[in-house]
Amino acid sequence: MSAPKPKISVIGAGLMGHGIAQVFALAGHDVTITDAVAASLDTVASRIAANLRDLGEDASAVARVRPCRDLAEAVRGADYVVEAVSEDLALKQMLFAEIERHVQPDTILASNTSVIPITAIMQGLSARERALGTHWWNPPYLVPLVEVIETQWTSPQTLAWTMKLHEAAGKKAAHVKKDVPGFIGNRLQHALWREAISLVEHGICDAETVDAVVKASFGRRLPVLGPLENADQVGTDLTLAIHNVVLPAIDSRPAPSPYLQKLVADKKLGFKSGEGFRKWSAAEQAALRSRVMQHLKSMQSL
Ligand SMILES: NC(=O)c1ccc[n+]([C@@H]2O[C@H](COP(=O)([O-])OP(=O)(O)OC[C@H]3O[C@@H](n4cnc5c(N)ncnc54)[C@H](O)[C@@H]3O)[C@@H](O)[C@H]2O)c1
């Protein structure tokens, strides 16, 4: 008989939390989930069931997700607790202090924060060796990556167990060896966004052209060719020659662009205000969201 799958507890049933619960339930884990807002908890099962139906997955997996009003009840008996509440350091610290009071001595504790250092979130724990970061991407059930971030205190056993847990659930686990802001994915992503904004700011092209260039050129190759595979393919000598010319010209300001700051000051907030780098009608927003979901679904078999 195979060993029972680790019991999972998810704290926060919002955009990320419900998707993380869904992935573990579909992989056969019993999952508890809690949220401070009743409306969020009351709808979690129907949101997961709808996602599973939409993906053509086994919708009965939702029966393995048990919503709990009470935090202590949600984490009691769990082998692994992952927190996906609002991005607020004091809230996360307070929750982990409370969670530590109700879990077993060997329960592993993880935060899905996007940008807050894991070290800051976990520093107050009495057993910091069992804590780490697990950074999922939205939507958790369609984007494969989970960055697993160790702190100076994380034990090798905690790290290895967590990497294995996510791989076994069908995710691509990437080990982040140092707790740096942005981990790996967001550092790369925002290095690109900084230059994209700078090109518009300096009148080299408009926003539509930046996006068209990425989508019609190296963006086409990215799902199968990482930047360092690409550098090796063209040669490190050629890469060095290119960097000698290009790097001095690329934006290296260590602060948000004034162009971006002005958009925000002018309340050009993107989709939510109907205009950001460009104007967005409701229909255009819906069409873009739909294209992204269709694309991510089509990539699942890769
Ligand atoms: N949205 C993304 O693309 C994304 C990607 C990766 C990581 N993250 C991170 O994941 C976390 C959650 O983000 P989200 O987008 O799911 O946010 P969200 O606002 O959709 O969900 C957060 C949930 O936490 C709940 N909550 C707040 N206080 C709580 C408490 N004391 N106890 C229990 N639940 C509480 C809220 O009611 C809400 O349902 C954040 O740290 C965020 O930075 C988000």
Tens digit of pLDDT for each residue in 260-299? 999 999 999 999 999 999 999 999 999 999 999 999 999 9
Amino acid (1-letter code) at residue 211: D
Question: Closest ligand 1 atom, CA of 83?
Answer: 11
pLDDT of residue 4: 87
pLDDT of residue 192: 98
Structure tokens at 233: 């393919």
Count of Cβ atoms closer than 10 Å to residue 296 Cβ: 15
Average pLDDT over residues 52-78: 96
Give the CA distances from residue 158 to residues 28, 50, 150, in Å, rounded to whole numbers and listed in that order: 21, 33, 9
Report whether pLDDT(302) > 70.
no
Average pLDDT over residues 139-145: 97
Active site residues: 114, 135, 147, 186
Pocket test for ligand 1, best of 85, 98, 116 (most atoms within 8 A of CB): 85
Count of Cβ atoms closer than 10 Å to residue 166 Cβ: 23
What proportion of the chain, given as a percentage, has pLDDT over 90? 97
Report whether pLDDT(1) > 60.
no
pLDDT of residue 3: 77
| pLDDT tens digits for range 146-156 | 999 999 999 99
Give Cβ neighbours of residue 3 (< 8 Å, ≥ 6 apart). Answer: none
Q: Are 119 and 151 in contact (CB under 8 A)?
A: yes
pLDDT of residue 271: 98
Give Cβ neighbours of residue 135 (< 8 Å, ≥ 6 apart). Answer: 112, 113, 114, 146, 147, 149, 176, 183, 185
pLDDT category of residue 2 using cuts at 50, 70 and 90:
low
The alpha carbon of 38 and the centre of ligand 1 are apart by a number of angstroms equal to: 14
- Structure pTM? 0.96
Structure tokens at 121: 């979130």
The alpha carbon of 112 and the centre of ligand 1 are apart by a number of angstroms equal to: 9
| pLDDT tens digits for range 24-55 | 999 999 999 999 999 999 999 999 999 999 99
Q: Which residues line ligand 1 (CB under 6 A)?
A: 11-17, 34-37, 40, 84-87, 91, 95, 112-114, 135-138
Mean pLDDT of all residues belonging to the chain: 97
The alpha carbon of 96 and the centre of ligand 1 are apart by a number of angstroms equal to: 15
Report whether pLDDT(87) > 70.
yes
Cα(124)–Cα(108) distance, rounded to whole angstroms?
A: 15
pLDDT of residue 19: 98
Count of Cβ atoms closer than 10 Å to residue 87 Cβ: 12
